[in-house]
Amino acid sequence: MKRVFAGEILHILPLPNGIIIAYIAEKNETRANVNYKMINFDEGTVMNITTSIYRLSKFGSNYQSFQMQVLNYVTCRAVLLSNGKVFVMDANGSAKLLDDGARTEWVGSLLYRGEAPADLVQYGAALWASFPESGVLVRYSLHTMREELRIGGGRASTFSRPEGLWVDGDKLMVCNAGSHKLWQVDLKSYAVTDYEQFEEPVHQYVKIGDYELVVLDSGVYLL
């Protein structure tokens, strides 16, 4: 495992040939300054990028309209759906389904026992959400926005503070910050297996081609 960037990471965005890193450059008791870097794996380069490039990568070409639909464009989650629509969710769980013109098709909230999700991913006609405090994964229908399926939860939950989610084919990768483990869920059989163990909490996983990366407390690492 090789560290490619050290610092306090908010999250990373995947690109066709690299990643964008949103990180806290400096902070005090009342304010945090967020900066962005782009790593290009093909060229082996690391460069500073503007907020506009970050927002373009997160929301798509109509990012100026989409960012107006959220409370905070950095801390929100945005899922670029396969049909051209965008699902956005703020940190408090308030959410919207927007068409390609940023017009609202659905508005509501995604909450489980009062808790907002840490992350969202699309798989087919559904969204999967992770709820760290409850130790549960929930599948929502994109047609009705209703809960369809739940994995985990309760004192004997398989998951320990599940945060970042990533879909790789028919596999759902789940970052368990509590157990320092990366789990793999088969989305056909719902079998859960170990994938990787770390020495510190794991918050996010992405895969770009043959590159696998994780966000740990101490930075971004290449597996």
- Specify whether the CB–CB gap between 169 and 179 falls below 8 A: no
157 pLDDT higher than 80: no
Percent of all residues in the chain with a pLDDT value above 70, rounded to a whole number: 99
pTM: 0.94
pLDDT (average), residues 30-58: 93
The band of 158, judged by pLDDT with boundaries at 50, 70 and 90, is: confident
What residues are paired with 129 via a beta bridge? Answer: 120, 138
Of 45, 41, 44, 6, give the one whose Cα is nearest residue 25: 6
The band of 30, judged by pLDDT with boundaries at 50, 70 and 90, is: confident
Residue 26 confidence (pLDDT)? 86
Q: Tokens 């966000």 correspond to what residue? A: 215
CB atoms within 10 A of CB 36: 22
Report d(CA 223, CA 219) in Å as an integer. Answer: 13
Average pLDDT over the chain reads 94
The CA radius of gyration of the chain, in Å to the nearest whole number, is: 17
Furthest CA-CA distance within the chain: 47
Helix (H, G, I), strand (E, B) or coil at 67: helix
Give kind and range of the element (H or E) at residue 56.
helix 51-59
DSSP 115: B
Report d(CA 208, CA 168) in Å as an integer. Answer: 10
179 pLDDT higher than 80: yes
